[in-house]
Structure 1
Amino acid sequence: MIVRLVPGARIFEDPGVHPGEEAARMSVGAPGAAPAAMPEDPYAPLRTRRYLGLLALAALIGAPVCAVAFGFLALVTELQPLVYTDLPVALGFHGTPLWWPLPMLALAGASVGWTVRHLPGHGGHEPAYGFSAGGAPSLAELPGIVCAALASLGLGAVLGPEAPLIAIGGGLAVGALRLAARNPDARAVAVVGAAGSFAAVSALLGSPLLGAFLLMEVSGLAGPLLGTVLAPGLLAAGTGALIFTGLGDWTGLGTYGLALHDIPEATAPTVAEFGWALAIGIASAFAGAGVRRLALLLKGRVERRRVAGTVVAGLAVAGLAIGYGAGTGREPSEVMYSGETALEGLLAHSATYSSAALVSLVVCKALAYCVSLSAFRGGPIFPAMFVGSAGGILLSELPGLTLTAGFAMGVGAMAVAMLRLPMTSVLLATLLLGSEGLTVMPLVIVAVVIAYVVSVRLQPAPAPGGSSRAGGDGSGVGGSAAR
């Protein structure tokens, strides 16, 4: 759920102040001159009683939203070993057969295709479009969004959980607001929905700061209005984080925030590494453009026969995973899934990968990502980060580039190539590496800026008065826009 409000618009009207009162205040001018209206106070919404009520509601919804987010992530995490490890053993196999992804991803395709075709909300956000402005889903649409996401993420599609979490958080928050207030103001709905989405995705990203930048960049907010919208989200994320952490300790499942631990020591950036930042930025921009265009091309084919097309897409992802496993002797699961939990192992055990295995991993993962974007439901962030990190590790085998710097630049550059969110991409790459991220931050900034500028230049300019999304269906991150 992403907010897009007009700067200067009122979030809430104070019942004690007439809506036209401020506009009626005139300044004293020269005789005969037309009176000029006093500029509206941009902080006026924060001084209203209703805004205080909004903050109280945001604090209340943060806890249950994060509890639901925790349950969703726990279910996705438990489904993956259940389907690919426990189920084959229960059926009498000694380990997981190499061909096992074929029926599982075909089942995922059938489930997602049927959900998108028949249930309200069409399964939620279309990941091939990246992040875009849209409205919070209704409560009636949430079951379809959850079903499509669980089938996609739990059975092996190459997408992340962030888009379903944003939709779930925004939908639950808006549903709570509509239960608490009869006919709430449209702007109040937008702000409360954003707060719920903010709380849910911040728990996954491991930092309210990342959630704040994500919301800020996607919504295009700036100035005083930004603080007006972000304050409820920060409050909801803060209260929800307590519940998220507490549930992790109480259940013994741990938390699901994005964080790495065994990180090789980073060295001070060198002139050669700034040259690598330029090269990685350009290469990531072209790679991202290729992924996006192929995904949109395939999406058009899938939409013609939704169920059958999504099944074929699942089989294609399975085939890429099997081919990678057979060709490299490594686990096919490295090509499947979003990759956020595999980032730490990839970095820590990078020495165990041959150059050929890394090339195969980058190619197969990127192609599986394309196919998943075209047909399944989930978020685009983490697979982009994984592909970029594997590419950065591969390039670090060449002279002049250290492992940690290559990893960080690959993550940031590929993220911005797919998301077009430069500040969020820099933070994703640097906060992921903790204190080592501060050392390589200048390199990440250069790589991200280059990738961002080249990506925008590679994208065709939208037709005047048209949408910038080719073939857009009006769906946003939070589910479906008004249809």
Structure 2
Amino acid sequence: MSIDDGHRTSATTVRRLVVLSLPAVVIGVVSALVLFVVEELAAILQSALWEGLPNVAGFDADSAWWIFTVLTLTGLAVGLAIWLLPGHGGRDSALTELIAPPLPLSALPSLALVTVLALAGGVSLGPESPIIAINTGILVAVFARFWPGVSVQLIVLITAAATIGALFGTPVAAALVFTGVVGTMAAGQALWDKLFLPLLAAGAGAVTMSLLTQPSFAVPMPSYDSIAAIDLLSATVIAVFAALLGIGAAAVFPLVHRTFRLLRHPVLYVTVGGMVLGVLGIIGGPITLFKGLEQTATLVIDRDEYDSGQLVVIVAVKIVALLVAASAGFRGGRIFPAVFIGTAIGVLANALVPGIPIVVAIAGGVLGMVLAISRDGWIALFIAVAVTGSVTVLAVLCIAILPAWLLVSRAPEMLVHAPVERTVGHRPSGRSSGDAHHSAR
């Protein structure tokens, strides 16, 4: 290519990026607004279920019978929605990557409903997967109507980046995640050019979300300003241990998914899933319920109130709860619960060996667990630093991630690849529901 050709190509790329900048900002703002609305609706329902109703009726919201009742009824409500509503609650989260092809608009209301129900009802899943699916479905449809020249692939990429930026309150998370994604696209184009629009959308999403609320993963912890040589070993051992637990969960995930599907009907297997989550909630206590963000902060702040035996129970219960929630047909992501599990592992390590700085212990636990669940080193590093609020610990994590990644890279993903068999009332379809479409009979 001549110099003139290079200049013309560069100028064309710049013009294209400028033209698409405004749509990218709009995508960022819309993605954050949708996230905010869904989370606010879930928060209102959660408050009614776990505070308002118990206060009015005069009973303890943390009582065993109420935890079991709410989670069982949540499973029943989600199962009915998947069975009866148009779109059937979107795709089965167990079969779906974080970034997936867009759903039709008809599937989005039921997906939003089952997401709100799960978040409010105490199910151990996060909002990331369904929110990305909802935003992608809306924005692909809007652009197809008003700006058909923009490719669907680009809209999906920008929307996912915007949603991740809004979820984590910073575009840095999206930039790290999408460095690997865009690296396989548009050969010959500079990496910055590929990242520009997703980063712009992520920035708009993060700013919008910050204006509406204050999303933060940071948990109050003692400062960590200097690295000791032993911290490298401590973080590595904890990260490897957490990664092994995550790998074990991923290995049995397809089996758990198949076991629930033996019940054949979504009302049955999701309701039973809710019942199992209710029993787990009784065993682990309220700290093991919900997506885990607020519970992560509570666990760290109140860590002196838990002995090592209680912490082992919390870790075990939350891992099983994540497996059950993700396998039984509930819609949601796995990163938020993984952060809680990793934090609990770090708190446990600090309880067993108090000499390990709590920042190092939690960072190592989060790194290993998120790495095993998400299979993304960038996002694991980012979240581990974000939770601890320590930039200093990043250098330690860059060492600790090597053996953990060597284990994870050879292990199964926490994803079900096998097709779902025909079930009562359903027929397989990859367009709008991973559980399969309802078929009236």
TM interval, short-chain normalised: 0.7 to 0.9
With over 3 angstroms needed to count, the CA separation of the structure-2 counterparts of 1:169 and 1:228, relative to structure 1, is farther
Query: Is this contact kept in 2: 1:128–1:292, CA < 8 A?
Result: no
Which amino acid in structure 1 is aligned with residue 417 of structure 2?
Answer: A
With over 3 angstroms needed to count, the CA separation of the structure-2 counterparts of 1:305 and 1:225, relative to structure 1, is farther
1:73 and 2:39 correspond: yes
Show the counterpart of 1:203.
166
Q: 2:418 aligns with which of 467, 471, 481?
A: 471
Show the counterpart of 1:291.
249
Pairwise CA distance, 1:218: 5.0
Show the counterpart of 1:374.
327
Rounded to whole Å, the distance in 2 between the matches of 1:270 and 1:430 is: 17
Structure 1 unaligned regions, length at least 5: 1-24, 28-37, 249-253, 325-331, 461-467
Percent identical:
28
Show the counterpart of 2:203.
238
Q: 1:356 aligns with which of 301, 304, 309?
A: 309
Rounded to whole Å, the distance in 1 between the matches of 2:316 and 2:378 is: 27
Rounded to whole Å, the distance in 2 between the matches of 1:191 and 1:73 is: 26
1:279 and 2:233 correspond: no
* Cα deviations by residue, 1:144-196 (Å, 9 ceiling, x for unpaired): 211121111110110011112211222222122122134x45xx222123222
With over 3 angstroms needed to count, the CA separation of the structure-2 counterparts of 1:95 and 1:413, relative to structure 1, is closer
Show the counterpart of 2:350.
396
Rounded to whole Å, the distance in 1 between the matches of 2:72 and 2:245 is: 27
Show the counterpart of 1:438.
391
Which amino acid in structure 2 is aligned with residue 167 of structure 1?
Answer: A
Q: 2:275 aligns with which of 315, 326, 337?
A: 315
Query: Is this contact kept in 2: 1:54–1:192, CA < 8 A?
Result: no
Q: 1:150 aligns with which of 116, 120, 134?
A: 116
Rounded to whole Å, the distance in 2 between the matches of 1:40 and 1:294 is: 54
Rounded to whole Å, the distance in 2 between the matches of 1:202 and 1:123 is: 24
RMSD: 3.1
Give the structure-1-normalised TM-score: 0.78
With over 3 angstroms needed to count, the CA separation of the structure-2 counterparts of 1:333 and 1:57, relative to structure 1, is same
Deviates more, 1:148-157 or 1:261-270: 261-270
Higher CA-based Rg: 1
With over 3 angstroms needed to count, the CA separation of the structure-2 counterparts of 1:202 and 1:315, relative to structure 1, is same
Q: 2:105 aligns with which of 124, 131, 139?
A: 139
Q: Give SS of 2:392's match.
A: helix
1:301 and 2:266 correspond: no
Pairwise CA distance, 1:347: 1.6
1:407 and 2:367 correspond: no
Query: Is this contact kept in 1: 2:341–2:369, CA < 8 A?
Result: yes
* Cα deviations by residue, 1:38-87 (Å, 9 ceiling, x for unpaired): 999985762455x5432222222322332222111222223222211211
Deviates more, 1:173-182 or 1:233-242: 233-242
Structure 2 unaligned regions, length at least 5: 421-427
Query: Is this contact kept in 2: 1:166–1:197, CA < 8 A?
Result: yes
Which amino acid in structure 2 is aligned with residue 358 of structure 1?
Answer: L
Query: Is this contact kept in 2: 1:422–1:449, CA < 8 A?
Result: no
Rounded to whole Å, the distance in 2 between the matches of 1:280 and 1:310 is: 34
Show the counterpart of 1:107.
73
Query: Is this contact kept in 2: 1:133–1:219, CA < 8 A?
Result: no
Show the counterpart of 2:13.
46
Which amino acid in structure 1 is aligned with residue 375 of structure 2?
Answer: R
Give the structure-2-normalised TM-score: 0.85
May I ask how many residue pairs the two structures share in their alignment? 420
Query: Is this contact kept in 1: 2:119–2:290, CA < 8 A?
Result: yes
Query: Is this contact kept in 2: 1:101–1:322, CA < 8 A?
Result: yes
Query: Is this contact kept in 1: 2:29–2:204, CA < 8 A?
Result: yes
With over 3 angstroms needed to count, the CA separation of the structure-2 counterparts of 1:135 and 1:225, relative to structure 1, is farther
